[in-house]
C-alpha cells in the first residue's frame, strides 16, 4: 500500500533529489552503489536544527497541558525554563559526542554535522541564544494561557504519527494536540518551526488534519477547528494561533494529484530522477548537501 504524508509532499516540492534520497533509495536495490546507499542512510538520520529546538519546546508545552495546569505562574515558567535548558544541554552533549567519535549511527543535527567539531562552541552559543529568544517570546505571549484555558473532555498528543486509509493509500497525520470539546467539536493544534510567510501550505496541512478527524474520530469537517502556531524566533507572528484550512474535497483532490506525481517519479530511472540541480535556498539546511556540492 502506498504511503502519503505531508512531509513527503513537501520534500517532493522542495527538491526531487532530496525526495529520492529520503524516500525512494532504499527501495531501489539496483541503484548499484552500496557506498552511496550507506551515506544516504547515515545522512537521513540528521535532524533539522529548527525542528530539534522546536521539539524541546513542544514536549514541555504538551506536558503542561497533559498534567492539567490551568494557569502558568512565574514559578511554573521558571521550572519550565530550567527543563528546556536541561533538555537542550543533554541533546547537545549527545550530538557533540557523535561528532567527536565520528559515529555514523549517532544522533546529530545538520548544522553541527557540517560545521564539525571545531565549531561546537559557536553553534552551542547560537542555538542556545535562539532557544532563549523563543522562551522569552513564549513567556510574554498570550498563547499558552489560551491553550491552557481550552475546555475539553479528552486530549490526545501525537508523539508519533497516526494514519488513515483512503483510496488504497495510507495517509499519515501528525498534529501535535487534539482536543475534544464538550460541545462535540474538535480542536487540532499544530506547532511549526517556521513563519507563516514561508510558503508552507499550512492550509493544506490543516486540511489533512481535518480529514484525519473526520475518518478516525468521526467528526464532520464543519465541527473541526484547526490552529497553527508559528514558533520561528524572528517572526512577529510567532506563537499566534492562526486558524485556516483547506476544504476536504480540495484536500483530497490535491493528495490524489501529488500522490500520482510521486508515483510517476518513483517509477522513472535513477538517472532521470536526480539530475544535479542548481544550488537553491533549501540546500543550505539540507542533510544531503555533501552529496550534491
- Count, residues near ligand SF4 per rule CB under 6 A: 11
Q: Three cell numbers at 100?
A: 567527536
Per CB under 6 A, 15 contacts ligand SF4: yes
Residue 164 exposed, middle or buried by CB count within 10 Å (0-12, 13-18, 19+): middle
Q: Site mask, ligand SF4, residues 16-45, x = CB under 6 A?
A: -xx---------------------------
Residue whose CB is less far from ligand SF4, 44 or 124: 44
Encode burial over 39-78: b for 16+ CB neighbours within 10 A, e otherwise: bbebbeebbbbbebbbbbbbbbbbebbeeeeeebeeeeee
Residue whose CB is less far from ligand SF4, 237 or 284: 284
How far apart are CB 102 and ligand SF4 at their closest, in Å? 22
Contact yes or no for 55/192 (Cβ under 8 A): no
The single residue among 25, 110, 229, 286 that binds ligand SF4, judged by CB under 6 A, is: 286
Write out the E strands in 110-257.
154-157, 162-166, 169-173, 177-180, 186-192, 224-230, 241-242
Residue whose CB is less far from ligand SF4, 17 or 47: 17
Per CB under 6 A, 13 contacts ligand SF4: no
Segment lying near ligand SF4 (by CB under 6 A), choices 62-70, 86-94, 221-229, 285-293: 285-293
Per CB under 6 A, 223 contacts ligand SF4: no
Query: What's the DSSP call for residue 194?
Result: S
Q: Where are the alpha helices (DSSP H) in 141-178?
A: 143-148
How far apart are CB 17 and ligand SF4 at their closest, in Å? 4
Residue whose CB is less far from ligand SF4, 39 or 124: 39
- CA separation, residue 113 to residues 36, 94, 105, 110 (Å): 18, 12, 12, 5
In the range 238-277, which residues lie near ligand SF4 by CB under 6 A? 277
Segment lying near ligand SF4 (by CB under 6 A), choices 45-53, 150-158, 190-198, 278-286: 278-286
Residue 112 exposed, middle or buried by CB count within 10 Å (0-12, 13-18, 19+): buried
Write out the E strands in the chain.
2-4, 154-157, 162-166, 169-173, 177-180, 186-192, 224-230, 241-242
The single residue among 4, 135, 212, 288 that binds ligand SF4, judged by CB under 6 A, is: 288
Per CB under 6 A, 282 contacts ligand SF4: yes
Q: Three cell numbers at 66?
A: 497533559
How far apart are CB 33 and ligand SF4 at their closest, in Å? 16
Residues in touch with ligand SF4 (CB under 6 A): 15, 17-18, 277, 280, 282-283, 286, 288-289, 292
Amino acid at each position: 500500500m502506498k504511503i502519503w504524508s505531508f512531509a513527503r509532499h513537501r520534500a517532493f516540492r522542495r527538491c526531487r533529489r532530496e525526495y529520492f534520497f529520503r524516500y525512494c533509495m532504499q527501495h531501489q536495490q539496483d541503484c548499484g552503489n552500496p557506498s552511496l546507499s550507506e551515506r544516504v542512510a547515515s545522512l537521513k538520520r540528521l535532524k533539522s536544527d529548527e525542528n530539534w529546538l522546536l521539539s524541546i519546546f513542544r514536549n514541555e508545552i504538551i506536558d503542561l497541558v497533559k498534567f492539567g495546569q490551568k494557569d502558568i505562574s512565574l514559578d511554573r515558567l521558571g521550572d519550565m525554563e530550567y527543563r528546556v535548558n536541561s533538555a537542550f544541554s543533554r541533546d547537545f552533549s549527545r550530538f557533540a559526542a557523535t561528532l567527536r567519535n565520528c559515529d555514523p549511527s549517532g544522533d546529530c543535527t545538520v548544522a553541527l554535522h557540517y560545521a564539525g567539531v571545531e565549531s561546537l562552541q559557536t553553534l552551542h552559543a547560537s542555538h542556545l541564544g535562539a532557544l532563549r529568544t523563543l522562551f522569552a517570546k513564549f513567556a510574554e505571549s498570550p498563547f499558552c494561557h489560551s491553550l491552557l484555558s481550552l475546555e475539553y473532555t479528552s486530549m490526545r498528543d501525537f508523539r508519533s504519527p497516526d494514519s488513515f486509509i483512503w483510496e488504497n493509500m495510507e495517509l499519515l497525520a501528525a498534529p501535535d494536540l487534539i482536543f475534544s470539546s464538550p460541545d462535540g467539536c474538535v480542536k487540532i493544534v499544530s506547532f511549526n518551526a517556521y513563519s507563516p510567510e514561508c510558503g508552507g501550505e499550512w492550509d493544506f496541512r490543516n486540511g489533512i488534519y481535518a480529514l484525519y478527524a473526520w475518518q478516525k474520530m468521526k467528526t464532520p469537517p464543519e465541527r473541526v477547528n484547526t490552529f497553527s502556531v508559528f514558533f520561528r524566533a524572528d517572526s512577529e507572528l510567532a506563537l499566534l494561533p492562526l486558524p485556516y484550512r483547506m476544504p476536504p474535497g480540495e484536500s483530497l483532490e490535491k493528495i490524489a494529484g501529488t500522490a500520482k506525481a510521486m508515483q510517476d517519479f518513483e517509477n522513472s530511472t535513477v538517472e532521470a530522477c536526480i539530475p544535479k540541480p542548481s544550488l537553491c535556498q533549501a540546500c543550505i539546511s539540507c542533510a544531503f548537501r555533501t552529496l550534491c556540492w
